[in-house]
């Protein structure tokens, strides 16, 4: 986004902010006017309540025999109208600030108690006993002072002069809020403009640093490509010449020469493996891991890979290094569409890492399963290679495992036991993820387990 667009964005944000403040002020003033109108309604309802109370009291006085006689039907009518006025007063007062007044709460509680079905007034209306009626009338007369006092307070709140003062006060508050909003908006604009300048300067420095890093990365890739190519050429000659010397030394039965030749050959192959791993890792880092997917049976790939590794193990067994490999394969075909060569490399790397991890002490089991459109490969010590307990891999948890970090092994320094660059598992993980799969690694001091989850068909 260009600087001009950012400035326009700032202006739009501040304008929206000020518009929101203006709307809030308008709502504040409208709320104040609505409150004043509500107070007028409350005053009207309170006056009507007082009138109906006095009429009901006068009718009850006659019904009790204290004045002229009043029919029971007329008293019931006045009582019903009195209850209606109480409900209207509640409806008009509850939305206003007067509802929080303690005197209002007490008045409403007394009125509800007076008009309840079990109240003395209601009972007196259903009996002919004069003493009961007179006692109820005395209780009714106790509401004279609370009703009159509360109605006077309501009239005071709804006084036009006081309403005008409250309206002016609300307008002053609204003006103060608007002034604060305007000053805040001006300060915000200044801070945003300053921040934009700092961001532009920071991004310019970041672009320059990125250019230097990209240039250094290209130089590194070029250096690795040239060096690894130059290393592989003489290494192939060394390996080929060592194999020729070993065949001739075997014919002459020169055991000392044969041992030396085998040592040179193994060292050359080990160095060639390191070079190949470095090349693969450089391809992965550069995002040049090209896949050539084809359909094949995953069981055959695993079986063929294990057979090839067993041949290597049998050769190493001459020097005392032994490792047992077992497989658990399903009866049905597990057809997947993937790059067979790269998956074979990932499988080789994982088993090679397992051999280093277990040091020939425990067997390694490779199990294959197929569920829900996903293919699973479990590699590890037999106690941990449980296909039934296979869980979805967590890439976040796997990313924290040192074995999955390039060039990192469990120990550093020249006296370490594990040799190599520590690239077996990082390369295997990158190959699996390139196939839209996931690799989960679990390890302890004397065991390990790798769970590989692959789609049956890689994404196009």
pLDDT tens-place string over residues 237-294: 888 878 888 777 777 777 778 788 888 877 887 777 777 777 777 767 666 677 888 8
Indicate the residue among 158, 185, 216 that finishes a domain: 158
List the single range of 33-47, 363-377, 420-434 with lowest mean pLDDT: 33-47
User: Distance between terminal CA atoms of the chain?
Assistant: 32
Provide the CATH number for the domain around residue 83: 1.20.120
List the single range of 104-118, 306-320, 327-341 with lowest mean pLDDT: 306-320
Q: Is 92 exposed, middle or buried (0-12, 13-18, 19+ CB in 10 A)?
A: buried
Bridge partners for 325 per DSSP: 364
- Residue 326 backbone dihedrals phi, psi, to 5 degrees: -130, 155
* Cα 440-441-444 angle, rounded to 5 deg: 150
Domain limits for position 349: 292-455
What average pLDDT score do residues 315-330 get? Answer: 70
What pLDDT shows up at residue 115?
A: 83
CB under 8 Å to 172, separation ≥6 — which residues? none
Question: Does 218 map to a domain?
Answer: no
Q: Is the pLDDT of residue 391 over 50?
A: no
Indicate the residue among 158, 181, 202 that finishes a domain: 158
Question: Does 355 map to a domain?
Answer: yes
What pLDDT shows up at residue 162?
A: 54
Question: Does 209 map to a domain?
Answer: no
pLDDT tens-place string over residues 44-87: 788 888 888 888 888 888 777 655 577 778 888 888 888 888 88
At 106, list the tokens: 């007490």
Question: Does 242 map to a domain?
Answer: no
Provide the CATH number for the domain around residue 330: 3.30.565.10
Indicate the residue among 141, 158, 175 that finishes a domain: 158
Q: Is 56 exposed, middle or buried (0-12, 13-18, 19+ CB in 10 A)?
A: buried
Q: At what angle do helices 72-93 and 3-63 cross, to 10 degrees?
A: 160
Question: Does 282 map to a domain?
Answer: no
CA 356, 357, 361, 362 torsion: positive or negative? negative
What pLDDT shows up at residue 98?
A: 74
Please report, rounded to a whole number, the percentage of residues in the chain having pLDDT higher than 90.
2
Q: How many CB atoms lie within 10 A of CB 382?
A: 15
DSSP 421-438: -S-HHHHHHHHHHHTT-E
Highest mean pLDDT out of 13-17, 28-32, 169-173, 195-199: 195-199
At 63, list the tokens: 């019904």
Bridge partners for 443 per DSSP: 448
Tell me whether strands 325-328 and 364-371 are parallel, antiparallel or unpaired: parallel
CA 348, 350, 351, 353 torsion: positive or negative? positive
What pLDDT shows up at residue 451?
A: 92
Q: At what angle do helices 160-252 and 3-63 cross, to 10 degrees?
A: 130
The whole-angstrom separation of Cα 301 and Cα 310 is 14
Task: Identify the residue whose tokens are 């004069």.
Answer: 130
What average pLDDT score do residues 123-145 get? Answer: 83
Question: Does 238 map to a domain?
Answer: no
What pLDDT shows up at residue 399?
A: 46
Cα 272 to Cα 40, 259, 338, distances in angstroms: 96, 20, 27
Q: Is the pLDDT of residue 361 over 60?
A: yes
Highest mean pLDDT out of 62-76, 103-117, 302-316: 103-117
- The pTM for the full model equals 0.46
List the single range of 228-232, 330-334, 430-434 with lowest mean pLDDT: 228-232
The H or E element containing residue 360 is: none
Question: Does 164 map to a domain?
Answer: no
389 or 24, which is more confident?
24
Which residue, among 46, 172, 36, has the nearest Cα to 97 in the 3D structure? 36
Q: Is the pLDDT of residue 339 over 70?
A: yes
Could you tell me the pLDDT band of residue 414, with boundaries at 50, 70 and 90?
very low
Number of domains in the chain: 2
Task: Identify the residue whose tokens are 């550069």.
Answer: 286
174 or 433, which is more confident?
433
- Do 447 and 302 share a structural domain? yes
Which residue, among 137, 435, 460, 440, has the nearest Cα to 301 in the 3D structure? 435
224 or 113, which is more confident?
113
Are residues 323 and 313 in contact, defined by beta-carbon separation less than 8 angstroms?
yes
What average pLDDT score do residues 400-426 get? Answer: 59
Tell me the helix, strand and coil percentages in the chain, rounded to 5.
70, 10, 20
The whole-angstrom separation of Cα 296 and Cα 287 is 25
Question: Does 368 map to a domain?
Answer: yes
What pLDDT shows up at residue 392?
A: 43
């Amino acid at each position: 986004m260009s600087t001009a667009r950012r400035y326009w964005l700032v202006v739009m944000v501040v304008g929206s902010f000020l518009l929101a403040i203006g709307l809030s002020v308008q709502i504040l003033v409208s709320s104040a006017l609505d409150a004043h109108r509500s107070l007028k309604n409350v005053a009207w309802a309170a006056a009507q309540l007082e009138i109906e109370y006095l009429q009901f009291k006068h009718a009850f006085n006659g019904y009790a025999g204290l004045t002229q006689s009043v029919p029971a039907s007329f008293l019931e009518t006045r009582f019903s109208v009195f209850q209606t006025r109480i409900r209207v007063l509640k409806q008009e007062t509850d939305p206003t600030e007067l509802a929080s007044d303690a005197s209002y709460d007490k008045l409403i509680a007394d009125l509800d108690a007076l008009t309840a079905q079990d109240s003395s007034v209601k009972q007196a209306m259903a009996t002919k006993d004069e003493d009961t009626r007179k006692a109820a009338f005395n209780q009714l007369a106790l509401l004279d002072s609370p009703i009159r006092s509360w109605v006077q307070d309501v009239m005071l709140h709804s006084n036009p002069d006081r309403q005008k003062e409250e309206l002016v006060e609300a307008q002053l508050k609204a003006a103060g809020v608007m002034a604060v909003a305007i000053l805040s908006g001006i300060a915000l604009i200044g801070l945003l403009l300053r921040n934009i300048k700092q961001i532009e300067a920071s991004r310019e420095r970041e672009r320059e640093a990125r250019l230097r890093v990209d240039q250094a990365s290209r130089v590194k890739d070029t250096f690795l490509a040239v060096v690894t190519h130059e290393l592989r050429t003489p290494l192939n000659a060394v390996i080929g010449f060592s194999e020729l010397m070993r065949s001739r030394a075997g014919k002459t039965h020169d055991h000392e020469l044969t041992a030396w030749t085998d040592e040179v050959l193994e060292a050359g192959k080990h160095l060639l493996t390191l070079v190949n791993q470095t090349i693969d890792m450089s391809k992965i880092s550069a995002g040049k891991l090209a896949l050539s997917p084809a359909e094949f049976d995953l069981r055959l790939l695993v079986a063929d890979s294990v057979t090839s590794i067993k041949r290597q193990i049998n050769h190493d067994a001459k020097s005392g290094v032994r490792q047992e490999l077992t497989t658990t394969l399903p009866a049905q075909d597990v057809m997947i569409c993937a790059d067979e060569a790269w998956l074979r490399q990932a499988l080789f790397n994982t088993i090679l890492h397992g051999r280093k991890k277990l040091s020939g002490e425990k067997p390694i089991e490779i199990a294959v399963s197929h569920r829900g459109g996903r293919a699973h490969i479990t590699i590890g010590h037999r106690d941990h290679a449980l296909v039934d307990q296979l869980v979805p891999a967590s890439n976040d948890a796997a990313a924290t495992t040192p074995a999955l970090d390039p060039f990192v092994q469990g120990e550093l320094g020249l006296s370490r036991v594990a040799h190599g660059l520590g690239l077996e598992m990082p390369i295997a993980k990158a190959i699996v993820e390139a196939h839209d799969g996931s690799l989960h690694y679990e390890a302890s001091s004397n065991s390990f387990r790798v769970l590989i989850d692959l789609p049956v068909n890689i994404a196009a």
